[in-house]
Chain A
């Protein structure tokens, strides 16, 4: 079965983001496919490369990045949600004249069309948070 995930939960509050990651891992372990993981609203903070987690807590950003690299899964941050929260890739940083790019390279910034496209291509679209 083909799954896509919509992550609304912030990685800084509650368990939603990590639960989504564990769900994604379980999908792959059971030989299903992940079409795309789309981060929206507070969920986009999962792509913040500048985030520093306390040593005895999950580094959710790195966990997502490791997962994406290992399994070649697309992690997409909604552009309008990301910009509002200070999440910029190098192109956006230059465009808005900000000093630094803040998006982890395992993530990509794109539009809501990617969520709609994922919904069409997937048998299941599962929301985390909200």
Chain B
């Protein structure tokens, strides 16, 4: 794909890490987009912010670990990460433990973010 034809893509993640196959699927779409050298961002909103929890152990439920997948993002240059500030507060997530590059957004900032991307895929 030529760089001239790049389109920016925002992947909106709404699902908690192990409640639905869409949780992992949304991340795989973002990774795939990064692999093809596209301008891709990820926005975690609502229950989706739970995917950012660092200490996840999925071994006893027999599925692959979402936290490990998120930890691998820098290897794919996937570092444009946003999260819904209110959702993080609602779940009481400790900001110190979240990915370093994560940008926290309030409602107005999220509304503006949606305007910045050519395509928005909501999962």
Set A6, A84, A111, A117: member contacting B121, Cβ < 8 A: A6
Q: Given contacts A130-B14, A130-B122, A130-B123, is CB(A116)–CB(B21) below 8 Å?
A: no
CA distance A8 to B123 in the complex (A): 8
The tally of CB-CB contacts under 8 A between chains A and B is 54
Binary contact track A40-70/B, C-beta < 8 Å → 1, others 0: 1110000000000000000000000000000
- Interface contact B29-A112, CB-CB below 8 Å: yes
- The size class of the interface chain B forms with chain A is 20 to 34
B68 CB within 8 Å of chain A: no
- Interface contact A41-B32, CB-CB below 8 Å: no
B28 CB within 8 Å of chain A: yes
Set B5, B9, B22: member contacting A8, Cβ < 8 A: B22
- Interface contact A117-B1, CB-CB below 8 Å: yes
CA distance A122 to B121 in the complex (A): 14
Residues on B lying within 8 angstroms of A by beta carbon are 1, 5-7, 9, 14, 21-22, 25, 28-29, 32-33, 35-36, 38, 118-119, 121-123
Residues on A lying within 8 angstroms of B by beta carbon are 6, 8, 40-42, 80-81, 84, 111-113, 115-117, 119-122, 124-125, 127, 130
